[in-house]
Structures are given as C-alpha cells and as structure tokens.
Amino acid sequence: MNSSLRHLRRALVTAVTVLGLAWGSAAGGAAAGLPATAAAAPATGQPGAALPNTVVPAPVSAVADGTTYRLTASATLSSDVPDIGAYLAGVLRASTGFALPLSTGASGPGTIALQLSGAPAVVGDQGYQLTVTTHGVVLRANRPAGLFAGVQTLLQLLPASVESPTVVPGPWTVPGGTVTDYPRFAYRGAMLDVARHFFTVAQVERYIDELALYKINYLHLHLSDDQGWRIAIAGWPQLARYGGSTEVGGGPGGWYSQADYSAIVAYAASRYLTVVPEIDLPGHTNAALASYPQLNCDGVAPGLYTGTDVGFSSLCVPLQLTYTFIDQVVGEIAALTPGPYLHIGGDEATSTTAADYASFIDRAQQIVAAHGKTVIGWHDIANATLLPSTVAQFWDTSTTDGALATAAAHGTKVIMSPANKAYLDMKYTHRTKLGQDWAGLTDVNTAYGWNPGGYLSGVGATSVLGVEAPLWTETIVTPADLDYMAFPRLPAIAELGWSPWSTHGVSAFDHRLGAQGPRWKALGIGYYHSTQVSWPAGS
C-alpha cells in the first residue's frame, strides 16, 4: 500500500478502537495533585518546593530544599562506574573549563559522587536518586543504567550552556534537593530507518547521543527494505554489495560491515541503549530478491528499487531456500547482537496470501527463537499465531481488525508506536517540507497528547512493554533532517515512556520542553521551533 492508499484507508475507518485521550483533558491532571515537577509554577527556592521546571522526562518526584550547589574549579568527581564518570567529566570539562579530576572505585568521595550503593529499592534497575546540597552532589543507583539516567537529570539541572562544546562563563549552579526517579515502562525506543536512506556509523552515533539525553534505552535499526539492504551477511555477500548499492531517489546507498554494526552496538551500549536489529520479512524485501534470483518463486531477480511504494515484494513462502536464507541471516545478526530482541518486520505483506503469511511468521519465529532471541514484529503479525514471548509493535492507526487486542488478551506484550502520534516522519504542519502526512499532521502537543497505557482498546497498561518513536527516512536524507524531525517530538515520546502518567500535563510539558531549546542550540541540534512550545527568549 502506498502512502496515499494508507491515507484513504485511514479516512475510511472510524476511530472506534482508538481511545486516544485528548491532551486537553489530561492536562486537567495538574489540578489533581501532581508531583511537584509537573506543576507549571517555577521553583521558589523554598524547602519542599519544586525543583526548577526544566527536566524532560519529568521525574517521579523532585523536591527542593532551598539551597544551591555551585560547581567551582576546585570540584572533583568520583564514580563507581568509570565510563559514566568519564562521560559526565567530558561534558562538564568542555563547557566549564574546570579540571574536575575523576577518581573511580567504590563509593568515592568526589564533590560530585556517582555511587552504585545506597539507592532506594523503588528506583529499580533503571532509576536513581539524586541529592544536591550546598556541599555537592550524590547520585545513587542500583545499576549503571540508573546512574547514567541520573547523570542526564543532573546535566538538565545545570544551566543549558553546560552542553556547550567550548568553555563558556558560569555560574554553574544546581538547585538543592532530592530527585527520586525511575521509568514507567521498561522499553523506551527510537527507530531509525537506514534502509530508505543510508546513515553512516558516525551519523548513527550522533543520533544515539541525542537519544541518550532523554533516557531512551533501545535503538531499533531498520536494516533492510525494498530500497536497500544495509548489513553485510557473510553467507550472502550480494545482499549488501548489490542490495545495498542504492536508496530512495537513486543515491549511492551504503551498508555496514559486521565490524561497523558491532561498533554501533558498542557505542549504543556506552550510552545505555540496546540495539534491536530489524530484517523486514516477508514483504519489504525487494533489495534481497534483487540480489539473489534463486530467492524468487520464478527464479528471476527484480531490478533494484528506488521509489517509495510499499507492499509489492514478498519472499517466496513455499521455497525451502527462503528458510535457509532467513536462518543464516538471523544467525549472523543474532551472533553480533547482545540485546534480547530481533525484529522481523512483518508489516504490509500485501503480496503474500493470509495463509502463507501465517505459516511464514510461524517459521520465522521458530528460527529467531532457535538463535536465542525474542521476536518483535510490527502488529500485523498478530494475524499469525504468536509465540508467548513475541512482542507486537502497534503502528497503523487505521487498523480495526482487533487481532492485536486478541493477542494482548492472550498475553502478547505491545510496544506502542501509533503512527499519528509517535512517527517522527509525519509533518508537523502543512508547511513542513520534510516528511509525510498519511497518518496526519503531528505537532508537539499531538505527539505528547496520548496515554500509551490507555490508547488502544484491549491493550491496557499491563500489556504495554513501552513506546517507540520510529523515524522513517523516505524523505529524510541528512543528519540535519533527522534533528529537525526528531526535535522536539522525540523528547515528548521519551517522556510518555518514562514519566508516571500522574505527571502528564501539556502546559507544564511545553515549558519544560522549551527549556531544552538552549541545550539543543548548544549541542548544534537544529530543531523545529514549534509555536506550541514555550521557548525561552533567544532560543
């Protein structure tokens, strides 16, 4: 189905299955006893008052004690996790110009101390407790991922210019108080489509750095599609060499060697993100079919494809070689991927009969399981019989068939990526040059204005593993394009994944989000200046 057909289908269905809460009503929560951070009122500096209303995603709890810590040239750092200490030191030294000597080892005594001890149990594996006094900062977590998340909060409590890559004047103050914080959902993802347009390792690493700022913990890489195959497979070398040689619009494409892919995985891990590789099957496979004639039912390879239609390609379901192929591809990628998930796509297989589709998804799941990975698939796979562990990713907001709700009722976990809210390739307004509009226009308050735990009838919060913001790249070519489409919407989706629903409130969010603008400016992120956001003057 091409994008205009998708649009038509969307127009024809009612929103009966979609309960999407309007942000206006959710914002009413502000009157209903929100934690301090969610209130729009600025900090007063009084004990018990809110910390400054600047942190995205909103923390579970943040209480000011009326004091202020001032980071000076004599400050020291200590960290129980050397890499996290070095990450924080790197940011702080660049902008403050201070030496900030770093000591590592158990519960060191730095003025800013990052400790893997003493955190309350409630923060779990990903949360943290941050305590700021006039004397210094103590960040406590149970696991390194929690320390890394807490470092992001600490940086957001410092002036925005702390993100400057060159030395700038302070003062470097942090409001005193205590933040206790942990995520609502375990899975907070972002997807990058490197198939429609290719992005280099360095460009992906830059995006990873941006995702880490908002406590995103999964990077889903869409590694294959009709227009390109982007990862070298030793047993099938033509996939990358030939299938990776172009992209939408006919450009040169590109592909990752296995060392490149491993470098991305390692870089993501250094930012506490886990890579989820996707090989889209059985549709969206023209690049593979073009690379190997023997994968086609008629033995004839189609040409390479550089357009943007979807739904026309399918692996040959009755062919035994199809499963040998999948086994070898999945085997090589699984061996390079430390994370638990492997995404098999499964979307828009409109050239595959329903019976073939069901039997194909059956076999693909078995293959992935045999290589020790948990399957994720776009929610179309709910039309097949799912393994108990398989995760379905909701995307198509025009779907009305109820298969996903039925699967959820049988225990299937769901990642929420409704296209009309979470797709970063949708245009902000009619005037947005980049992007598509088949799912609707998505300005910031639309991206923010839904509850992942209450959006789909039959898919309640307990069925939701988390959220993901996909960035499809039919129209997205450069890192500047990525930045423009992801900011400021990515932080909105990140907040829906992290923050308790009790903190949800659009006007407070638009203020907190606005406070990020000067940070993006310092980081060189060219973002969309949505009129819905309260940007500080000059940002």
Residue numbers annotated as active site: 348
Beta strands 61-71 and 172-181, pairing class: antiparallel
Q: How far is the CB of 393 from ligand NGO (least distance, A)?
A: 8
Closest residue by beta carbon to ligand NGO: 472
472 scored as a contact of ligand NGO (CB under 6 A): yes
Write down the least CB distance from residue 452 to ligand NGO, Å: 17
Instruction: Report yes or no: 484 and 527 within 8 Å, Cβ to Cβ.
Output: yes
Binding test (CB under 6 A) with ligand NGO, winner from 378, 484, 509, 535: 378
CA angle 360-365-371, nearest 5°? 130
CA–CA separation, 411 vs 458, rounded Å?
Answer: 11
Quick check: 416 and 467 in contact, CB under 8 A? yes
| Spatial CB neighbours of 318, under 8 Å, sequence gap ≥ 6 | 297, 356
Q: Does 98 participate in binding ligand NGO (rule CB under 6 A)? A: no
Is the distance from CB of 453 to CB of 461 less than 8 angstroms?
yes
Q: Is the Cβ of residue 360 or residue 395 nearer to ligand NGO in the bound state?
A: 395
When the beta carbons of 87 and 472 are compared against ligand NGO, the nearer one is 472
Distance CA 55, CA 268 (A): 23
The nearer residue to ligand NGO, 220 or 373, going by C-beta atoms, is 220
Q: For residue 161, what are its two tokens?
A: 């210019």
Return the DSSP state at 190: E
On whether the CB atoms of residues 284 and 310 are closer than 8 A, the answer is: yes
**Toward ligand NGO, which CB reaches closer, 182 or 472?**
472
- State the Cα–Cα distance between residues 343 and 278, nearest whole angstrom: 4
User: 53: exposed, middle or buried (C-beta count within 10 Å: 0-12, 13-18, 19+)?
Assistant: buried
Q: How near is the Cβ of 187 to ligand NGO at its closest, in Å?
A: 17
* Least CB distance to ligand NGO at residue 426 (A): 7
Size of the site for ligand NGO (CB under 6 A): 10
DSSP string of 471-508, one letter each residue: E--SS--SHHHHHHHHTTHHHHHHHHHHS-GGG--HHH
**Three-state secondary structure string covering 351-371:** CCCHHHHHHHHHHHHHHHHHC
Residues 403-432 that bind ligand NGO (CB under 6 A): 423, 425
Q: Which of 26, 149, 310, 344 binds ligand NGO (CB under 6 A)?
A: 310
Length of the chain counted residue by residue: 539
Nearest distance, CB of residue 472 and ligand NGO, angstroms: 4
List the interface residues with ligand NGO, window 99-158 (CB under 6 A): none
Q: Which residues pair with 394 in a beta bridge?
A: 416
**436 in contact with ligand NGO (CB under 6 A):** yes
Given candidates 205, 247, 347, 443, which one binds ligand NGO under the rule CB under 6 A? 347
Cis peptide before 183 (omega within 30 of 0): no
- Beta-strand (E) ranges in 134-182? 136-140, 172-181
Cβ 436 to ligand NGO shortest distance, Å: 5
Which of 348, 468, 495, 510 touches ligand NGO by CB under 6 A? 348
Contacts of 415 (CB under 8 A, 6+ apart): 187, 189, 376, 391, 392, 393, 394, 464, 465, 466, 467, 468
Residue with smaller CB distance to ligand NGO, 59 or 470: 470
Closest CB 386 distance from ligand NGO, rounded Å: 17
Min dist CB 384 to ligand NGO, Å, is: 16
For residue 401, the 8-state DSSP code is S
Report the residue from 199, 229, 395, 509 that binds ligand NGO according to the rule CB under 6 A.
395
116-130: string of b/e by CB count within 10 Å (b at 16+)? beebeeebbebbbbb
Nearer to ligand NGO, 143 or 284 (CB): 284
Place of tokens 């735990």: 453
Residue 236 sits in the site that holds ligand NGO (CB under 6 A): no
To the nearest whole angstrom, how small is the minimum distance from the Cβ of residue 463 to ligand NGO? 19
Of 466 and 500, CB closest to ligand NGO: 466
Of the pair 214, 395, the CB lying nearest ligand NGO is at 395
Contacts with ligand NGO, residue ranges (CB under 6 A): 310, 347-348, 378, 395, 423, 425, 436, 472, 474
